[in-house]
Amino acid sequence: MNVPRTVNGLKGLAFQALVKAENRNVLAFMFLAFSFLGGVSETWGQESRRASTFKRDHAWVDPLTIPPLLSGNFGELRGNHFHTGVDLKTEGREGLPVLAATDGRVARVKMSPWGYGNALYLEGPDGVTTVYAHLQRFAPNVQSWAVARTYEARSLGLDASPPSSAGLRFQAGDTLGWSGNSGGSGGPHLHFEIRSTSNQHPLNPLDGWLSKVDTRPPVIPALWVESATDWYRVSLPASDTLSLTSKVRFSVEGYDVLDGASNICGLRTLEAKVMEEGTKVLLTHRASWEELDFGVNKDMNAHAFYPVWSTVRDQVHRLHRFPTNRLGIYETPASAGWVELDAGQRAVLHIEATDAAGNRSSVAVPLVGSPPEMPSDPLCNDLDAQDHGEWSVEPELSGTHDFGEFGFAWRAGTFFERETVRVYVEPSGRKLRMLPTEVPYRKAIQVRWPVPSSAEMWEGAWSVLPGASLPADRWLSVQREDDGEVGDAVVAERKDGQWLVDLPRGGEWVMERDTVPPRVLPYHSGTPLVASGDAVWYVEDALAGIEDVELRIQGQWARAVWDPKRNMLTYEASDEIHPRGVPCPVSLTVTDEVGNTTTWERSLTWP
Ligand SMILES: [Zn+2]
């Protein structure tokens, strides 16, 4: 499948000056590269040493009592980061006991509708912390400590470190809690991590920690070739010599498959070199997923081949590291990655991938330089005929640019390479399109968006009388999917007759006003009370999204567990702040991101 390159033909041209400056570095590390490529990756055995030393000196228990089947592993590409643990299957259900992998004390407890959900951090011996996420519930002593903290703080979520006086200690094999589907989990499973306690860097749990048999080697199905103006896919193994008519750089789709499950998992190492006539190294690259760092983990966006990753989510890895990419997984120097062959010059691209069990796969792609094709004009398209703003952004510099009444401000480090930003504004001023869309934005671009003087400027879109001025509040900049669903919505701050919005990515953004309050109703039937004594509501907000929830029982603040995946809000009867046998006033107030509010009020009688 070919992902069409859209409207950013200038992008690659902008790289070229950068590349020239780096050629010297490429020469300098050729010699170095040659030496490591001789002895490819026996590091796998060494990285397991920390685990084997630990297990020799301390008790270790796998966190589930069923055999480990993985739906995800360490280092696979996920959203905007590398996955920092393993996802252990829980037979498609919740409530499996989750065991302490080591002796230790509970160092941190988190409860959140997002991310890790209900998560427990167990600090064990030898500087090793284990993390258990998406839990349904904690062990009773942890659960009651955590719930008490939320009532103290009147906070729906929790992120707290229990003092040693709380006595939350476990031995390896004790039940810490029960598996669930809380937070950003897409189905019941246990997310399990091993971290170095001192810096909280996640370590690869398959480096000898979890006992997991894996006899299947990694899969390397496709190569992606990027030129200054285009990109295309080559199925592997390549049937022909690949003809290069211009300077290119490479990315490869690569992933692991494990015994017993069909899921796609991450690699342990990925290595590539381009060699001319078996001797001269034109490019060398090696990444190793041994340890990650949350501080820079989102630079994964610059490791992935973003045009493919951001659209079809294939695990496509760049075979070079941008100088601005701060990830610590690379064992070779940074470069923009360009390879250029003279006409008739021959070389071979070698790629090798390993998994954590030491299985390996490799491919070789023969390359030959060809005379350049007649360049097609990449800038000739409909959009370019329109009036637009256009300016360059250097990766290390902040700056501003005005286009008409619109203003744009970006911070240093917004892009990984020099980019040309282009902006098109609809004549009404209601809609703008910002390019590029096929590179990651590490930071949002702040847009100063002029507010039209009268509602007539934006005919018919809102229930505002002709000639009246636009209401000042509840505006958002909205990005929608092809099917019209809201992809992203950014609240617009009104200041000095303008809106300020932080746009986190390129694409089309439209100003919309949200006047619809959230929906709040009993989840199942006429009453939120269910047989267990829990009270369950359906809460949903169409555009801006829910910002705050306040539940009161007999006027008292009550903890509400919010599950945004199911639009479900639950008061758990085990919190025991409700009376029994007498009618009691209950109110639930839900507020969205722009301040629309709905209050549900009724008297409930708990049995
Ligand atoms: Zn996970």
pLDDT band at 184 (very low <50, low <70, confident <90, very high): very high
pLDDT band at 212 (very low <50, low <70, confident <90, very high): confident
Pairing assessment for the beta strands 346-354 and 316-318 based on DSSP bridges:
unpaired
Distance CA 124, CA 171 (A): 9
| Centre of ligand 1 from the C-alpha of residue 104, in Å | 22
Distance CA 322, CA 312 (A): 22
pLDDT over 80 at 22, yes or no: no
Phi-psi region at 322: left, alpha or beta (left = phi > 0; alpha = psi -120 to 50): beta
pLDDT over 70 at 28, yes or no: no
Domain ranges of the chain: 47-203, 214-369, 382-513, 519-605
Segment 507-525 mean pLDDT: 94
Which helix (H) or strand (E) element contains residue 15? helix 10-38
Q: Alpha-carbon torsion 12, 18, 22, 24, what sign?
A: positive
Phi-psi region at 104: left, alpha or beta (left = phi > 0; alpha = psi -120 to 50): left
pLDDT band at 496 (very low <50, low <70, confident <90, very high): confident
Side chain identity at 250, as an amino acid letter? F
CA 512 centroid distance within chain: 27
| Centre of ligand 1 from the C-alpha of residue 163, in Å | 27
pLDDT over 80 at 41, yes or no: no
- Report the range of poorest mean pLDDT among 32-36, 117-121, 349-353, 529-533: 32-36
| Centre of ligand 1 from the C-alpha of residue 85, in Å | 6
Distance CA 136, CA 176 (A): 11
Q: What is the pLDDT of residue 566?
A: 94
| Centre of ligand 1 from the C-alpha of residue 442, in Å | 23
User: 3-state SS of the chain: helix, strand, coil percent to 5?
Assistant: 15, 40, 45
Q: What is the pLDDT of residue 452?
A: 81
| Centre of ligand 1 from the C-alpha of residue 576, in Å | 32
| Centre of ligand 1 from the C-alpha of residue 186, in Å | 9
| Centre of ligand 1 from the C-alpha of residue 120, in Å | 14
Q: What is the mean pLDDT of the chain?
A: 89
| Centre of ligand 1 from the C-alpha of residue 69, in Å | 13
pLDDT over 80 at 36, yes or no: no
Q: Alpha-carbon torsion 334, 339, 345, 348, what sign?
A: positive
Q: Is the Cβ–Cβ distance between 179 and 134 less than 8 Å?
A: yes
Distance CA 537, CA 523 (A): 4
Q: Which CATH number is associated with domain 519-605? A: 2.60.40
CA 44 centroid distance within chain: 26
Length of the chain: 607
Distance CA 226, CA 3 (A): 12
Distance CA 65, CA 360 (A): 30
Q: Is the Cβ–Cβ distance between 428 and 457 less than 8 Å?
A: yes
Q: Is the Cβ–Cβ distance between 192 and 280 less than 8 Å?
A: no
Q: What is the pLDDT of residue 87?
A: 97
Pairing assessment for the beta strands 346-354 and 360-369 based on DSSP bridges:
antiparallel
| Centre of ligand 1 from the C-alpha of residue 166, in Å | 28
Q: Which CATH number is associated with domain 47-203? A: 2.70.70.10
Place of tokens 């609809």: 426
Side chain identity at 35, as an amino acid letter? S
Distance CA 88, CA 78 (A): 16
Segment 530-540 mean pLDDT: 96
| Centre of ligand 1 from the C-alpha of residue 72, in Å | 7
Q: What is the 3-state secondary structure (H, E, C) of 160-178?
A: ECCCHHHCCEECCCCEEEE
Q: Which CATH number is associated with domain 382-513? A: 2.60.220.30
Distance CA 529, CA 26 (A): 68
Strand order in the sheet with 535-540: 519-522, 535-540, 568-571, 561-563
| Centre of ligand 1 from the C-alpha of residue 75, in Å | 10
Architecture of domain 214-369: Distorted Sandwich (2.70)
Strand order in the sheet with 556-558: 556-558, 546-553, 583-592, 597-605
Minimal CA–CA distance to 229: which of 416, 335, 74, 373? 373
Minimal CA–CA distance to 10: which of 340, 380, 322? 380
Q: What is the pLDDT of residues 258-288, one digit of tens each?
A: 998 899 999 999 999 999 976 799 999 999 9
- Within 10 angstroms of residue 420's Cβ, the number of other Cβ atoms is 16
Distance CA 225, CA 553 (A): 61
Segment 293-307 mean pLDDT: 97
Rg of the chain taking only CA atoms, in angstroms: 27
Structure tokens belonging to residue 117: 């959900």
| Centre of ligand 1 from the C-alpha of residue 542, in Å | 28
| Centre of ligand 1 from the C-alpha of residue 210, in Å | 15
Minimal CA–CA distance to 296: which of 318, 324, 256, 319? 324
Contacts of 299 (CB under 8 A, 6+ apart): 325, 326, 327, 416, 442
| Centre of ligand 1 from the C-alpha of residue 94, in Å | 15
| Centre of ligand 1 from the C-alpha of residue 434, in Å | 33
Distance CA 414, CA 443 (A): 5
| Centre of ligand 1 from the C-alpha of residue 569, in Å | 24
pLDDT band at 467 (very low <50, low <70, confident <90, very high): low
Structure tokens belonging to residue 139: 């062990």
Distance CA 518, CA 534 (A): 22
| Centre of ligand 1 from the C-alpha of residue 293, in Å | 15
